[in-house]
Amino acid sequence: MNFTETIIIAIIEGVTEFLPISSTGHMILASSLMNIDDQEFLKTFEIVIQLGAILAIALMYIKKFLKGIEIYLKLSIAFLPTAVTGFLAYKIIKSYLFTPLVVSISLIVGGLLIIWVDKKLINKKSEFEDIEKIPYKNAFFIGLIQCLSMVPGTSRAAATIIGGVFNRLDKKQATEFSFLLAVPTMFAATGYDIMKTEVIFDINQIQILAVGLFVAFISAWAAVKVFLKIVDIYGFKHFGYYRIILGVLFLLVYCK
């Protein structure tokens, strides 16, 4: 990988990681279009730079994390189903589901669901004063729905936002809970992937990883700020339309 490819992939990761449009799908498509040769290092790079995106959210919502232990307990309960499912199904998911066809179908189906959910959100008000007030059972069910995001192309953000809406949160709360839940989920997934990866980095690759982490951090911070404004004004439906277009593009490029 050269530094131009590094910056492009890192921007894509940062921008798409917390949006309901599938960062995995975007990075697969981008790396294929750029014909990046070193696929082994690319996989590791895509995993490691997620830490930059995680840090952006952790700092952006630092006040939430410092508010008290209750939010940690709710996030732990929500994270539990994903942790168990991921541990048991990791090899199967990596071996059989990382295919262009699965990504394409996931993008399209997820897009249709987001459009449908957006219509349900019209004038919807939350039943809870704040996300810290979400009952433990609701947090758990959001975590169960997050398990669907292990299917490539589904999008962790899309799954948790939809899960939040079905658990009586409004769009703002569903989005914020999705962001907060991303911290333990992505940190655990990234750490587990790194442990499974047997790669020795040279100086050039370490520099590439450092640049990728920084760019992913900056782009994730900016993307989340913009995303919240878009959701507040327009809702989620445009992300659904975008997913459907991207899914069709995947079918045309990969599934001929």
Mind listing the pLDDT tens digit for each residue in 92-137?
887 777 777 888 899 999 999 999 988 877 667 888 888 888 999 9
Nearest-angstrom CA–CA distance, 178 and 143: 10
Cα→Cα distances 175→54, 110, 231, Å? 15, 16, 9
pLDDT at 46: 84
- At 214, the pLDDT band (50, 70, 90 cuts) reads very high
Nearest-angstrom CA–CA distance, 43 and 65: 30
Per the structure block, which two tokens stand in for 66? 């410092």
What is the reported pTM?
0.87
Render pLDDT for 8-40 as a digit per residue (tens, 0 to 9).
999 999 999 999 998 877 887 788 788 877 677
The conformation of residue 186, written as its DSSP 8-state character, comes to H
Angle at 220 between CA 248 and CA 45, to 5 degrees: 75
Cα→Cα distances 135→78, 80, 225, Å? 11, 15, 27
Query: At a CB cut-off of 8 Å and minimum separation 6, what does 71 contact?
Result: 64, 65, 131, 132, 180
Q: Where are the beta strands (DSSP E) in the chain?
A: none
